Chain A
Amino acid sequence: MNDDLSQRHSAFRFHGSWLEFARIAFPNLLLTIVTLGIYRFWATTREREYLWSKTDFIDERLEWTGKGMELFVGFIMAFLLIGLPLIVIQLISQGLIFRGEAILAAAMTLMMFLLLFYLTGVAYFRALRYRLSRTYWRGIRGGSDDPGFQYGVAYMWKSVMGWLPIFLGVPWSMISLWNDRWNAMSFGPHRFSATAEWKPLMKRYLLFYLVPFLVFIGAVVFGISMAASGGTPDALGSTGMAVGAIFAIVAVLSFYLFLPLAALAYYSKYFRLAVGGLRLHNLEFDFRARAPDWILFFLANMAIVICTLGIGYIFMPYRNWKFFVDHMEAYGEINIDDLTQSETVVAKHGEGLLDAFDVGAI
């Protein structure tokens, strides 16, 4: 490990050990199973308490103050207010199809889809807000006064705008939404500013975007050259067969190997640009992981999960957090006297219902 050299000057340091984490993760797994999954909200909370408390920012540990009960109550509310109505709507639309009212049923299904689409956007925003408001450093926390309802609308139209030009707008929509989210957040008295640009991301995106086309074009060219070489398929003989087999293997590999690799390369660039565009008062941020780091990280994760027959899955929160903190970097300075308490509201459960959608925030 070259941790010491590269991390000596990093503002973020992670001191956790996977053995300590195992002592949290295994009892969590057991309790989650015997409670039919209900304990998982407390399990998540305990894991975060550990991971946060083992993370240094400059000279003080982070603190996670979220509660399992908050997540649980939020889940119940989400089930009652969203899950149950969805089930009822589905039943009704099925009944409508039986009665031949297919157009009405389709309209209801569309409405349901749009509502879910909107709530997904709101949930992303709320998850980030929830995490910042429960993260303390030197007794100071983050948060936002924005409930995220407008963000939900932006999420809908920007996602659609990203898809419309044959999916070429995706990098723009991802960066633009990241900026929207973070520009609404603050830590202590300071507002984040997010000014990431999307244009530098296009080259990587095209790489990912073009893999399927390249494979397709390769197949067409191959087919034409085969046809041009004059042989009917059955006259090609064994060499033709062998070439065909190799080509088929390459085509399959491209899809199952190159496509994920290209996706990771794209995502690594996205994350680097997105974090690099972040600013908090006099602090600037940087994420140092490059595409090979992400690829190694992913392969190692897969190896761990497969070699442990799936049990290694419970270490994924640990590995994700460690990867994140190890590559996070901050420059600039903080004036401790200026860093006063956040004035943002702390959404209690009930009020902050959608805090419950604790989807991956960062």
Chain B
Amino acid sequence: MSAFFDAWHYDGKSAVRRKVEVQIIGAQFFLLETERRHGPFAFSDIEYVTHKDDADVYGLKGTDGWRLMLSGPVPTDLNAMLPARRNYGGWVDRLGFGKAAVAFTVASAAAVAVVLLSPQWLAPLIPSSVNEKLGDALVGDFGGRFCSTPAGDAALKKLVASLDANPDDLQVEVAKIDMINAVALPGGKVILFDGLVKQARSPDEVAGVLAHEIGHVREKHVMQALLRQMGLAVVLGGIDGNSGALVNNMLSMSYSRESEAEADAHSMKALGGANISPIGTASFFDRLSEMDGSARSKASDNGIAGYMSSHPLSRSRKDAFEKSIVKGKNYKPALTPAEWTELKTMCTQDRKAKSGFGFDFN
């Protein structure tokens, strides 16, 4: 800090530096050079620009590059007329650093909480027509990969009707894709992949998986996940790249685990209501989870990895299905042997349905 008050001026028109004195006249001032007078300028047009070493730098609204630089002890009458210094930026300077940090933390936590919790309430409010349009937009007719035979369709319809009270809002299809997977989509769409149906050892196994996907539909999980993802993308959009994506993934993962548990619970209830034994579903999980590393990597060619990646297979899931068995209950098979054969061979019989996935053109 220099001990003396100094004022320098750039007029913004040329780079000439001028040593000046500030002459205050009411709400205005002049800048006096030895042989020239600049001004008058209104104090209300003065804005704080920056701090430069030992000087505060002020600008003039509307005049590009106009600068008044004051160093040393600024006279009190002048100081009273000048705008406040800016340090962190508007809000933080007004609140003070500590209070602002706390306020921002609370606001951020609230924003994240709203984004995480509101989809549960918002998803059911979205009209079913929007859901259907979205589902159509996403898959349409799945590139002609849906299989259909009269007997197979009837078997599938019977299975759905036994598992759900309002089968008419559901659109369940079997797709001619050799992957062990099943997906629920907005608009009540459930797609069972043919690979899953083919490897199932009983209709009960298919019933359990199907009821699980119907659970996703009934609990509006897909719409919730979509809303949550969009919300997180906006809220965490400020965090750059990788760390934002990481936080986002972790948050959505924990929610997807919750959804899986809900869908499993829905499935067990539906199976119980339809008098179908949950033992089939349990053994399906068992077969998948018992594959060791080598079998799994070989199996990934057949797409088992598909179902595993969206549905982590833990022992606890299998155990839950086993526990839901009611001793002495008179379970019946989900489908008759004839119906089961029709469903299983539906995609082989339907020669019109296209097979394969993605970029496969034959």
Report A's interface with B, CB cutoff 8 A.
Answer: 15, 27, 30-31, 34-40, 42, 45-46, 49, 53-54, 60-61, 63-65, 68, 79, 83, 87, 91-92, 94-95, 97-102, 136-141, 188, 334, 336-337, 339-342, 346
B79: interface (CB < 8 Å): no
Give Cα A30 to B354, complex, Å.
56
Contact B354 A139 (CB under 8 A): no
Contact A35 B238 (CB under 8 A): yes
Give Cα A153 to B142, complex, Å.
38
- Would you list 5 pairs from A and B whose C-beta atoms are within 8 A, ordered by A residue? A36-B108, A40-B240, A49-B50, A97-B359, A339-B15
* Residue of B whose beta carbon sits closest to that of A339: B15
* Residue of A whose beta carbon sits closest to that of B136: A95
Contact A341 B12 (CB under 8 A): yes
B125: interface (CB < 8 Å): no
Q: Which residues of A contact B244 (CB under 8 A)?
A: 37
- When A37-B244, A53-B52 are in contact, do A139 and B65 touch as well, CB less than 8 Å? yes
Contact A336 B14 (CB under 8 A): yes
Q: Which residues of B contact A141 (CB under 8 A)?
A: 64-65
Give Cα A137 to B69, complex, Å.
13
User: Count of chain B residues with Cβ under 8 Å from any Cβ of A?
Assistant: 52
Contact B89 A68 (CB under 8 A): yes
B interface, over-half SS: mixed
A interface, over-half SS: mixed
* Residue of B whose beta carbon sits closest to that of A28: B88
B309 to chain A, nearest CB (A): 16
Q: Which residues of A contact B51 (CB under 8 A)?
A: 49, 53
- When A95-B139, A98-B142, A99-B139 are in contact, do A31 and B50 touch as well, CB less than 8 Å? no
Give Cα A182 to B14, complex, Å.
23
Q: Which residues of A contact B240 (CB under 8 A)?
A: 37, 40
B167 to chain A, nearest CB (A): 24
B43: interface (CB < 8 Å): no
Q: Which residues of B contact A346 (CB under 8 A)?
A: 64
Contact B10 A138 (CB under 8 A): yes
Give Cα A99 to B15, complex, Å.
65
Contact A53 B65 (CB under 8 A): no
Contact A139 B88 (CB under 8 A): no
- When A38-B238, A53-B53 are in contact, do A341 and B143 touch as well, CB less than 8 Å? no
Contact B13 A37 (CB under 8 A): no
Give Cα A339 to B12, complex, Å.
10
A28 to chain B, nearest CB (A): 9
Q: Which residues of B contact A35 (CB under 8 A)?
A: 104, 107-108, 238
B229 to chain A, nearest CB (A): 10
Contact A139 B138 (CB under 8 A): no
Contact A63 B12 (CB under 8 A): no
Q: Quick one: which of A36, A61, A91 contacts B111, CB cutoff 8 A? A: A36
Q: Which residues of A contact B66 (CB under 8 A)?
A: 139
Question: Beta-carbon contacts of B33-73 to A below 8 Å, as 1s and 0s?
Answer: 00000000000000001111100010100001111000000
Q: Which residues of A contact B27 (CB under 8 A)?
A: none
Contact B139 A98 (CB under 8 A): yes
Give Cα A137 to B67, complex, Å.
11
Contact A336 B50 (CB under 8 A): no
B6: interface (CB < 8 Å): no
Contact A31 B92 (CB under 8 A): yes
- When A46-B88, A341-B12, A341-B13 are in contact, do A139 and B140 touch as well, CB less than 8 Å? no
